[in-house]
Amino acid sequence: MVRIRLRRVGAKKQPSYRVVVIDARSPRDGQPIEVIGSFNPRTEPETVGIDEARALYWLSQGAQPSAAVERLLKQQGTLARMERLRKGESIEALLAEAQAALVAAPEGGRKTRPAQQVQAQSVEAVQEPAEGAAATEDAPEGEEV
Q: What is the CATH number of the domain that holds 68?
A: 3.30.1320.10
- pLDDT band for position 116 (cuts 50, 70, 90): very low
Structural domain count of the chain: 1
For residue 2, the model assigns a pLDDT of 95
| Domain encompassing residue 83 | 2-133
Q: Is residue 56 part of a domain?
A: yes
Q: Is residue 38 part of a domain?
A: yes
Q: Which of 3-7, 14-18, 92-96, 129-133 has the lowest mean pLDDT?
A: 129-133
- Look up the pTM and report it: 0.65
* Nearest alpha carbon to residue 70 among 85, 60, 55: 55
Residue 145 lies in a domain: no
Residues in Cβ contact with 35 at an 8 Å cutoff, skipping those fewer than 6 apart: 7, 18, 19, 20, 21
pLDDT at position 143 over 70 = no
- Domain assignment present for residue 143? The answer is no
| Average pLDDT, integer, range 130-139 | 55
pLDDT of 136 reads: 55
